[in-house]
Amino acid sequence: MFSTTGDKKYLDDFIKFKHFITDEDRWGVDEEIFWTMQPWRLVWAVTSTKQNIDPNLRSELTRHLITLADRRLEYIEKQGKAGYKVPSKNSGDWGQPSPMDFRNYGMIACAYLLTKESKYRDAVALSLDFVLGMNPTEMSWITGAGAVYPMDPLNYNSRYDDEVEPQPGILVFGPMESIHWPWLVPLTFHPKVETLGFFRRFQDCYDDVP
């Protein structure tokens, strides 16, 4: 709203609560919270505004955003060496990110826009390659993209539009480390999901999210 209107009261509100977003001893290092709330988007909105703001504030937010991006770069490198495991036990379940945590890579793109350093651009390209099929399944995780992609995701618009193909551009959830729905899993997975290779723990079925 500050970027749109220039009304300083919105910027004042941001500054009032800024420490909740950038304090390294609180939100800044809790990656689970960053995956859930994505406060880096607020940082980018103020960092990139064309409105006049305190240069020191802009510099502080820029440094913070680049720090977050560098942590994502470390995560990508770690994932590559580990064979692309999920970042947390429930990742891939009920809206959690795909294995490469693609929805959070916007902070890396922002760091590239701020610095023009190729390492950020290359990280986004690598991650995009991964979700578009350069992964052990050779399957794209985005509907309508690539040679093989999910055909039956949990998406009601696609379910009831009388088209065989799902609506394009949906980044699906999963796979995940384990499934915690004992009343449902025996009906949908055999053998037990934990016995399957990690990237086989994906179910292309609209009535079961993973």
> Same domain for 111 and 148?
no
| 4 within some domain | yes
> Same domain for 103 and 145?
no
Selection from 108, 150, 151 nearest residue 127 by Cα: 108
Domain count, the chain: 2
> Same domain for 185 and 115?
no
pLDDT for the residue 210: 47
pLDDT for the residue 92: 54
Selection from 117, 84, 82 nearest residue 99 by Cα: 84
| 124 within some domain | no
Range of the domain at 158: 132-210
Query: Are the C-beta atoms of 137 and 124 separated by less than 8 Å?
Result: no
Distance between CA atoms of 45 and 11, rounded to whole angstroms? 11
Query: Are the C-beta atoms of 153 and 138 separated by less than 8 Å?
Result: no
Query: Are the C-beta atoms of 157 and 167 separated by less than 8 Å?
Result: yes
Distance between CA atoms of 111 and 64, rounded to whole angstroms? 10
| 1 within some domain | yes
Other beta carbons within 10 Å of 78: 12
> Same domain for 84 and 171?
no
Tens digits of pLDDT across the chain (210 residues):
998 999 999 999 888 877 766 665 444 444 444 444 567 788 888 888 999 999 999 998 899 889 888 988 887 777 666 665 555 555 555 555 555 666 667 888 999 999 999 999 988 888 888 888 887 788 888 899 989 999 988 888 888 888 989 999 988 876 766 666 555 555 666 777 777 777 777 777 766 554
Domain boundary among 93, 119, 145: 119
| 165 within some domain | yes
Q: What is the pTM of this model?
A: 0.71
pLDDT for the residue 35: 44
> Same domain for 99 and 186?
no
| 177 within some domain | yes
| 21 within some domain | yes
> Same domain for 196 and 102?
no
Token duo for residue 116: 């023009």
| 42 within some domain | yes
pLDDT for the residue 71: 85
Q: Which contacts of 10-17 are long-range, i.e. CB under 8 A and separated by 24 or more positions?
A: 11/46, 11/51, 11/53, 14/42, 14/46, 15/57
| 25 within some domain | yes
